Structure 1
């Protein structure tokens, strides 16, 4: 018989308190037990074993509770941390006994349409440990380890346990571990700040938290989140190094068997974490059979350029299309206002589509080689009927993508909406930019039409700090495309960085649709920036961290074909930055854009791979660069 939710939640609280505060007696019928059983899982690359993470899973024989720790080369990454899940019918966080173990090697190759690296190779060791309670309730703990991370998930193989009431999952860090946390918000736009693990204020934080221990850096993350479960955040009490998993729902409905999302720990040195595709590697394979229509690219975004008024004007939008075509930028995005009359159109009116000038704009843009992306509120795609009205219409008009806004939830019901919109947009060949949204969590591998997601305190914010901007490449942007919308040169005084840093953000931040947020006038006033933006792609063959320290500096190199693009951002006082050119051997032409006394300045020099070069950085400044092979006669990397 189902347990009422209020009663079940009360039972969960009592059960968790008992699990944490008492010790259960040894179970009857056992031989003299050992203090614990333990199993280890490491990455598959034996030649690099000392540098790979090692997960250790332990079963306490006195309580029947599981814990998991992670180390690298014998050094601490994650201290022993509780593992378990509680349902209406079974508490699978204690009183467990071991059944059996199964191991396998996971090897996969796949290509993506966007991201820090288009071609991916996956090698992971997987261990499945099966446990049961005395009453016969079964829990499988599946652990994977690769060269750049460890992850685990819970599998309830038999079902029949009722709703999930919570997890006892947590991550124990050394109290003095350096910590970068983003305050949790429903739209995932919290600003990142630095603490130690113990001194972070009591509260809730985004699950994309970065820690530095003697075993290296570790980014907590999640993968394969769908409407079968609930989104996670971290709950913390000041004074401890423990960060607990808290679900968005008090009860997660299940229809039977369940595999939860992966609790992932991306780990290694800072370069390894930054370059990692671990959360994508954990996710299911692509559900789009023919992705040929999915094309990343740079976008002229008109919201910060012209606001709602621009969205209501066909004349203004044609002018933006003209500018994008002149610059060779493949897309123009029309934001809020284009389909509003008072609040929203009456889509029950069979003639509602004929009121829009959007088909005329799409035809106009198509003739100039520019694709149109349109903004739409989530409430207008909330039901199957609304999606059946909107999405075929947008496809028929020739719209290339939709920017869907204001989900602002990771509750199970909203995640089920994501499941539906992902299938529907794929069927109607519409790329997606999610705003007011969840964060990637593997979604871009499974649904490659998802080109980017906001889930970040981006360019629209007026409270960002330079430290926040230099933390994002090591936190939010590690796990997937990030629609920060750089390039808003006109917002002088409303952004914390310099013009050269703003140019550098277009490379330092990866996004499958890289939305440029400036005005045509601001670009024309900065011809060096404009020329660089003309070169920037939105899909990358490789990514490398050249220099970095979260909150202080981030210099990334991204390769497209035979050219490397550089983006550097800094916080703090003006200084001379030293940058290693670790992009390969041989001789390279390096063209950089920096801040000068009277505006942007371009420098050129020829260097050998591995050399270091200096860049003069203003306070909270940065730089951008373009690098190509040099031989006599090569005078520029620009094309």
Structure 2
């Protein structure tokens, strides 16, 4: 993996509010213009082949140390070229050559607050994130909300799935990213639950092209976000988790030490749907969060629950599925919920030994916790507590178990992102792969965490 950053164009600092700074992709067709509007609010717009994909859209955020939505100046850096090659065995393309142009635009609020927006523009993808330096003696910030928005031309239609209201649905497990998409709807249609929309979000800009919105690089230093409901004049904005998520535990915003970065907001643009389908932007912008001493081999497996459901989680049926996996040449069998009572912890070594005798490995199901929903399917209260989690993972490793499936998370708050990351990190210490279910979207995690396999939702 190699990343190269080269200067392309030098720009002047100290620009007036009338100045518009432009960044184009390597082939010159995708263009981002950054400027201050008449009220001194930073904004950007996006064109492809001269066609407007996003009109003047707001930038900035509100925080506990002030508002970062206006600026007295716009100071762009030089434009730099980014070139990187990487390989990854669990995404749509195993070998990726990434090329983009990058620039940082600095702003200063009337009160002296400093902040920057880092832009990346490739041939079909725009991405931006905020960099917040220390503010004098202030070394920490809580971001309450973002002004970050996406303003579409009139006549745009949408392909969106609604964000579910927190603490609803079965066992109070929502939002769990299991709603359906509505195709080709007008922008001013209200989302089903009035809570906005789950990423990724697809838009058709008339006959001019398509735009896909999402985010990537979310980890324990930020919350997961989604898209707001339609606002006036073609505008959608970044929306944070609902306060009710996680049964009310934890803040809905994002706290970080300074200097710090927000996740990347991504905008994939194409005249047709090919760039939307082929984009690798969720992984282009991130890097591994830790080195692993383990070698992971995802592969085919079997799963009794999908056919026989809860009653099949018993010794006889699981051995039958191990036999089936052996006959098919599959590597894994997933043992689903209730195994701790319907098979029993004391008999799991027997089942794991039988699987080994057949050249098959087990993946074991767990609930994510117990205090943010009403789940009774066991095992519960193993994965949310670091002491018990590590002990459980040591035990699984001693049995030759190769992975875990962790289910029924409580939402997208920052503390939940920390839990995802903690489970992945501890699992890697014990050589375990991880699958999530009833969960958020992965946001680049295939590259960020070497033992992350996938998400079911």
**Residue matched to 2:18:** 36
Distance 1:291 1:106 in 2: 30
Match of 1:208 among 200, 221, 224: 200
Identify if the C-alpha distance between structure 1 residues 279 and 383 changes in structure 2 by more than 3 Å, giving closer, same or farther. Answer: same
- Identify the match of residue 85 of structure 2 among 106, 109, 113: 109
CA distance in 2, matches of 1:286, 1:327: 35
> 1:63-78 counterparts in 2 under 5 A?
63-78=39-54
Q: Which residue in 2 is equivalent to 1:400?
A: 402
* Greater RCO (CA < 8 Å, at least 6 residues apart): 2
User: What residue number does 2:212 align with?
Assistant: 219
- Give the C-alpha shift of residue 321 in structure 1: 0.6
Contact 2:16 2:73 in 1 (8 A): no
In structure 1, the residue matched to 2:258 is 256
CA distance in 2, matches of 1:72, 1:215: 9
Q: SS in structure 1 opposite 2:141?
A: coil
Give the alignment partner of residue 96 of structure 2, picking from 105, 113, 120: 120
The match for 1:298 is: 300
Matching residue within 58, 77, 83 for 2:35: 58
412-421 or 361-370, which moves further after superposition? Answer: 361-370
Q: Is 1:140 equivalent to 2:116 in the alignment?
A: yes
Whole-angstrom distance in 1 between the partners of 2:441 and 2:41: 31
For the structure 1 residues 333 and 138, does the alpha-carbon distance in structure 2 shift closer, same or farther, using more than 3 Å as the test? same
Q: Which of 160, 177, 181 is residue 188 of structure 1 equivalent to?
A: 177
Q: Is 1:237 matched up with 2:205?
A: no
CA 90–358 in structure 1, closer or farther in 2 if over 3 Å, else same: same
- Using the alignment, how far apart are the partners of 2:124 and 2:333 within structure 1? 37
Answer yes or no: is 1:367 the counterpart of 2:365: no
1:401 positional shift = 0.9
Checking the alignment, whether the CA contact within 8 Å between 2:253 and 2:414 is kept in structure 1 is no
Alpha-carbon contact 1:200-1:238 (below 8 Å) kept: no
1:80 to 2:56 alignment: yes
Q: Structure 1 residue 357 and structure 2 residue 347: aligned? A: yes
Secondary structure of 2:144's counterpart equals strand
CA distance in 2, matches of 1:82, 1:326: 57
**Which residue of the partner structure matches residue 366 of structure 2?**
376
Alignment match, 1:561: none
Q: Is the 8 A contact 2:42 2:71 kept in 1?
A: no
The offset of 1:196, in angstroms, is 3.5
- Asked if structure 2 preserves the Cα contact closer than 8 Å seen for 1:222 and 1:264, the reply is yes
Match of 2:422 in 1: 420
Is the CA contact 1:126–1:144 (under 8 Å) kept in the aligned structure 2?
A: yes
Residue of structure 2 in register with 1:278 after alignment: 281
What is the DSSP-based 3-state SS (H/G/I as helix, E as strand, rest coil) of the residue aligned with 1:165?
strand
Cα offset, 1:118, TM superposition: 1.4
Asked whether the 8 Å contact 2:106–2:114 carries over to 1, the reply is yes
TM-superposed CA distance for 1:289, in Å, is 3.5
Partner of 1:198: 187
Q: How far apart are 1:239 and its partner, in Å?
A: 6.9
Q: 169-178 or 230-239, which moves further after superposition?
A: 230-239
Tell me if the contact between 2:127 and 2:264 (Cα under 8 Å) persists in the aligned partners: yes
Which residue is 2:373 aligned to?
Answer: none
Paired residues of 1:198 and 1:238 also in contact (CA < 8 A): no
TM-score, structure 2 as length reference: 0.84
Q: 1:252–1:412: 8 Å Cα contact kept in structure 2?
A: yes
Name the counterpart of 2:171. none
Residue aligning to 2:318: 317
Q: Contact 1:408/1:438 (CA < 8 Å) preserved in 2?
A: no
What per-residue deviation string (whole Å, max 9, x for no partner) do you get for residues 154-178 of structure 1? 1101152631111111111123212
Equivalent position SS for 1:369: coil
- Please say which structure displays the higher CA radius of gyration: 1
Please, which runs of 5 or more residues in structure 1 have no aligned partner?
1-30, 346-353, 456-639
1:328 aligns with 2:329: yes
Summarize deviations over 1:68-115 as a string: whole Å, max 9, x none.
111110012212111111111221101342244243222222221311
Whether 2:145 is the aligned partner of 1:166: answer: yes
Residues 438-462 of structure 1 show CA distances to partners (whole Å, capped at 9, x for unaligned) of 101111101131111013xxxxxxx
Does the aligned pair in 2 maintain the 1:148–1:278 contact within 8 Å? Answer: no
Are 1:175 and 2:168 matched, yes or no?
no
Aligned pair count reads 405
Deviations 1:266-317 (A, max 9, x none): 222311211111111111235234452x112122111122222221x11110
Aligned equivalents of 1:167 and 1:374: distance in 2? 39
Structure 2, unpaired ranges of 5+: 1-13, 165-174, 242-250, 370-381
Q: Is the 8 A contact 1:113 1:448 kept in 2?
A: no
Q: Secondary structure at the match of 1:229?
A: coil
Q: 1:440 aligns with which of 432, 439, 442?
A: 442
1:337 correspondence with 2:310? no
